Amino acid sequence: MASKSIEMKQPVIYGEVLFDRFPDGSAVLGGAPFNVAWHLQGFGLQPLFISRVGSDAAGDAVVEAMQAWGMDATGVQHDDAYPTGAVEVSLQDGQPRFDILSAQAYDYIDGSEIPSLGDTPLIYYGTLIARSRVSREGLETLRRKCVAPGFVDINLRPPWWTPEVVEHALRDAHWAKLNQDELSTLAGRDISRETLAPAARDLCAQHALEFAIVTLGEAGAAIVGSQTEEFASSPPVQNLVDTVGAGDAFSAVSIAGLVQRWPLDVLLRRALAFAARICEQRGATRNDPALYESTVEAWQRE
């Protein structure tokens, strides 16, 4: 279900959907683009999610979950050769380790199967989807079909990225979101709070971005461009459960703010607040319309 409180827009979300599979046999539906699309649906923006799943039980489960949440599943392709995406989660010294499997259905998004698109305010995609040639070509087809500003979520997950993958993802993009460590990696040097703004401006200049959104963990986040510099501190997390999906929650609210043209300081504050709220639950999303309705109502009261 979705809140009807926000004027409807339809951003396009392109990328992976997968299951995190745990040693006890349980599995949790996710993938950064899927999580972002889920949140946007909750906020009432009715995104079009474009991905590919296997012709298997896991793929059926993805479509069923989307339909139950009211999401448009017409952009989800089915693949007879490759399985629905999965990540194997294991524990090493008490810490989770994530093995992102190769040759998954989402690596083979077929540009010829992307549906016709209407007026679209924004396209979201991440760097993981650019790891495979087929899905990169699908993204290029999407860009030709849909002339809209791109929001790139930079996720540097070894071994699934190279400078060339990042370059491809940022080509013709309008905004990029990344964390402080990822900015350091791309800059080739350690980035501190004091040197963050110059490094982010260099990234924007190099890739012709309007601005970069840099998350700083517990310290907050910044938006930096050639003519822009905003910083906001994170609100306290009252009851920390885990941080899984906090970045995706932040991205979803950032997209909502860009689509609806919120002031950048408002966008930052709201994105950080929702990310903090997600840290108070287990898992990256929640099948609970009340969470989204109360969030939208809080925005409207401001």
Instruction: Note the pLDDT tens digit of each residue in 153-185.
Output: 999 988 999 999 999 999 989 999 999 999 999
Q: What is the distance between the alpha carbons of residues 251 and 256, in angstroms, rounded to a whole number?
A: 9
Q: Report pLDDT for 22.
A: 83
Q: What residue ranges in 93-160 does DSSP mark as E strands?
A: 95-100, 123-126, 150-153
Q: Report pLDDT for 117.
A: 86
At residue 58, the 3 state secondary structure works out as helix
Q: Report pLDDT for 7.
A: 46
Q: Report pLDDT for 96.
A: 66
Q: Report pLDDT for 279.
A: 87
Q: What percent of the chain has pLDDT over 90?
A: 76
Q: Report pLDDT for 3.
A: 40
Q: Which two tokens stand for residue 157?
A: 């997950």
- Closest-CA residue to 14 (of 41, 39, 44, 51): 51
Query: Alpha helix locations (H) across 171-245?
Result: 180-187, 196-207
Q: Which residue has the tokens 């002339």?
A: 147
Residue 96 C-alpha from the chain's centroid: 21
Q: Report pLDDT for 139.
A: 95
Q: What is the distance between the alpha carbons of residues 223 and 214, in angstroms, rounded to a whole number?
A: 6
Q: Which residue has the tokens 């999906």?
A: 245
Edge-to-edge strands, sheet with 76-79: 76-79, 48-54, 12-14, 123-126, 150-153, 175-179, 211-215, 221-225, 228-232
Q: Report pLDDT for 9.
A: 63
Give the chain's residues under pLDDT 70. Answer: 1-9, 91, 93-96
Q: What is the distance between the alpha carbons of residues 90 and 17, in angstroms, rounded to a whole number?
A: 19
Q: Report pLDDT for 5.
A: 40
